[in-house]
Amino acid sequence: MKKKAIALALVTAMTLSLAACGGGGTTETETAASTNAATEAAATESNTTDDGSYAGEPITLTAFYSNELLWDTAVAAEITRRTGVTLEFVPVAGEAAERLNLMLVSDQVPDIVTIGRGAAANAEYIANGKVIPLDELIASHGPDVASQLGDTAKKVKNADDGLLYGIPSWFQDEVAPSPVFGFNIRMKYVKELDYYDTYVDKGYFTQDEFVNLLTEWKEKYPTIDGKQSIAMAFNSENDGDYTWPFRGMYGIKSAYEKDGVLYDILRAPENKDMYLFMNKLYREGLIDPDWPVTKETLYDEKIVGGSVLSSPAAYWNIKNDQLRFDANGNEDIDNQMFPFLVVADGVAKEDATYGPTSVLGWSFTYISSSNQHPERTMEFFNFLMSEEGQYLTQWGVEGVHWEMVDGKRVIMQPVIDQIEAGKIWDYMPDEGIRRYELLFKSGVAADGQNYDLNNAYRDATGQLEAVEAFAREFLGITAYDTTEYDDLGPDSGTMEALIATKVDDLKKEAFPQIIMAGSEEEAAALYDKLVEDVEAAGISQIEEIMNEKFSNRMEIWGN
């Protein structure tokens, strides 16, 4: 317990020094406060033994996370050994949003709360005083939190009071060139119809090339295995999946900015062009006529059944694991759907926006106002955010899942066996790897290795799957940061929030009507009518709030 002895000596020395200075203007209150702070700091230091174990009083903290987790894994045990903290996750029991609202109104908020970044509950919990500002706690007990956050700290400050309440997870310093959405097309047909070289030479399809590919395929294959062929399929339950790729080809972001003023994207000329292009595809028989009623299960069946050429979606949402093998179990890489970059007329490929990504990640984690151990909780957060904590949550336990070899982390053979057997995504949760991501910084660790164990293995071995490699090569450049435009809508419970709901309802109602219109003129008229309807519903009031919040955000960011 060498550290404890040193820490106690420091406390004694500091106390004597403060007493000696008592006649120099330091009040008894100031002296007591300084002594308490020194004692607390020393006590924290003394609670770590030589083997890294926590020697202080163990505590249990209640926590809410969108997935109800158990603290019964190898990683959880090691976190507790290092911090003295055990987490007890409260039941989600249905939708996370419903549970968060119930906890709010019943005033039964657990010690730690993790909320999805875009959820209305973030503002509600702050406004109702259910979570506490963390600025002082980070300064006194969270040096690793502060270091990892860096300039991101100002981007997560509350616009109303300038304080930091939630610590993000899966955040990053800047957007990495990583792909998200694309027009996923069966590669064997791209090659069969002689479009592959055209694509690779430029790195994208023009709008006309894309339409020609769909048209030629549909003409050549009116039916497949006795079923009506589908040039393009949508999952009607995930409108973001099929609208974002079309937005991407037109360079549309989540807000339309003109002369320094923000507007809803409905007012963007290119947004109307996008709608009319989708209508053209539908009228020419290139979009599944049943798309409004094609829910996820049926959508997947159509994809796997082989009658679909393409689908706009996040590339990881395509059932390529089933397309990859034929009926005899033989691998057929080109039977998979690969994500392609399509660029609208007049748009440079560098301006395409297929990869909307926020540097603030996926969620925020808070300390509640009912938490009786805020300092210990911040120390717990600090460990999770340290390099050691990051390695532990993302790679597992040293000596069990990985080991140090010549100064580098190396995955141990039992874990490699799971990766190579295709069972890693079952194995990791069972061990606790990538399971407790309350706080996590995405990207590359200080030692230059990927924080993601699975990706690190593929980086080291070059065993990147063909679809992902293709996505990275051609769609990585389309990633862009959405942070400045995110969450600018009205606060829940306000009159403007009701207006926003009405506007969204009008959009959802009009969208299929525009796409399925019988002529371009009819589609254009329906679009103009939608703009008139949302104007009458009060969209200008929503845009006013957007600009006010945007201005406040830029002021806090120092822009």
Please tell me whether residues 139 and 199 are part of one structural domain: no
Among the candidates 353, 383, 409, a domain finishes at 353
- Rounded CA-CA distance 233/309 in Å is 8
Please tell me whether residues 217 and 329 are part of one structural domain: yes
DSSP character at residue 531: H
* Contact call for residues 494 and 189 (beta carbons, < 8 A): no
pLDDT at 80: 97
Please tell me whether residues 443 and 551 are part of one structural domain: no
Let me know if residue 483 belongs to a domain: no
Which of the pair, 1 or 330, is modelled with greater confidence? 330
- Is the pLDDT confidence value at 1 over 70? no
Please tell me whether residues 113 and 194 are part of one structural domain: no
Please tell me whether residues 196 and 63 are part of one structural domain: no
Let me know if residue 232 belongs to a domain: yes
Let me know if residue 51 belongs to a domain: no
Return the number of other C-beta atoms located less than 10 Å from residue 250's C-beta: 24
Let me know if residue 550 belongs to a domain: yes
Among the candidates 299, 327, 353, a domain finishes at 353
pLDDT at 10: 34
Give tens-digit pLDDT for 280-318: 999 999 999 999 999 999 999 999 999 999 999 999 999
Residue 361: both structure tokens together: 């990640």
Contacts of 98 (CB under 8 A, 6+ apart): none
**CB neighbour burial string for 372-403, b if at least 16 within 10 angstroms, e if fewer:** ebbebbbbbbbbbbbeebbbbbbbbbeeebbe
CATH number of the domain within which 123 lies = 3.40.190.10
Please tell me whether residues 16 and 87 are part of one structural domain: no
Range of the structural domain that residue 16 is part of: 1-46
pLDDT at 436: 93
Let me know if residue 497 belongs to a domain: yes
Residue 8 identity (one-letter amino acid): L
Q: Give me the phi and psi of 444, to 5 degrees please.
A: -110, 135
Contacts of 476 (CB under 8 A, 6+ apart): 177, 178, 179, 355
* Strand, coil or helix: 210: helix
Residue 69: both structure tokens together: 């987790």
Let me know if residue 558 belongs to a domain: yes
Give the residue-averaged pLDDT of 87-101: 90
Which of 117-121, 272-276, 299-303, 499-503 bottoms out in mean pLDDT, i.e. has the lowest?
117-121
Please tell me whether residues 64 and 1 are part of one structural domain: no
Mean pLDDT, the chain, integer: 88
pLDDT at 129: 95
* Contact call for residues 277 and 207 (beta carbons, < 8 A): yes
Please tell me whether residues 119 and 30 are part of one structural domain: no
pLDDT at 559: 67
Phi-psi region of 420 (alpha: psi -120 to 50; beta: other; left: phi over 0): alpha
Which of the pair, 548 or 421, is modelled with greater confidence? 548
Give the residue-averaged pLDDT of 10-27: 35
pLDDT at 465: 82
Give the residue-averaged pLDDT of 257-272: 94
Among the candidates 440, 470, 500, a domain finishes at 470
Which of the pair, 9 or 245, is modelled with greater confidence? 245
- Rounded CA-CA distance 227/223 in Å is 5
pLDDT at 46: 54
pLDDT at 18: 31
Length of the chain: 559
- The domain total for the chain is 4
Give tens-digit pLDDT for 371-410: 999 999 999 999 999 999 999 999 999 999 999 999 889 9
- Is the pLDDT confidence value at 198 over 60? yes
- Is the pLDDT confidence value at 367 over 80? yes
pLDDT at 491: 84
* Strand, coil or helix: 403: strand
Please tell me whether residues 226 and 338 are part of one structural domain: yes
Please tell me whether residues 337 and 188 are part of one structural domain: yes
* Contact call for residues 517 and 266 (beta carbons, < 8 A): no
Let me know if residue 476 belongs to a domain: no
Please tell me whether residues 362 and 461 are part of one structural domain: yes
* Residue percentage of the chain with pLDDT more than 70: 91
Give tens-digit pLDDT for 139-189: 999 999 999 999 899 999 988 888 999 999 999 888 888 889 999 999 999
pTM metric for this prediction? 0.79
Residue 132 identity (one-letter amino acid): I
Return the number of other C-beta atoms located less than 10 Å from residue 258's C-beta: 10
Which of the pair, 127 or 27, is modelled with greater confidence? 127
Matching residue, tokens 């502060």: 146
pLDDT at 546: 94
Please tell me whether residues 90 and 168 are part of one structural domain: yes
pLDDT at 364: 96
Q: At what angle do helices 520-537 and 269-283 cross, to 10 degrees?
A: 140
pLDDT at 41: 44
The pLDDT confidence band at residue 433, using thresholds 50, 70 and 90, is very high
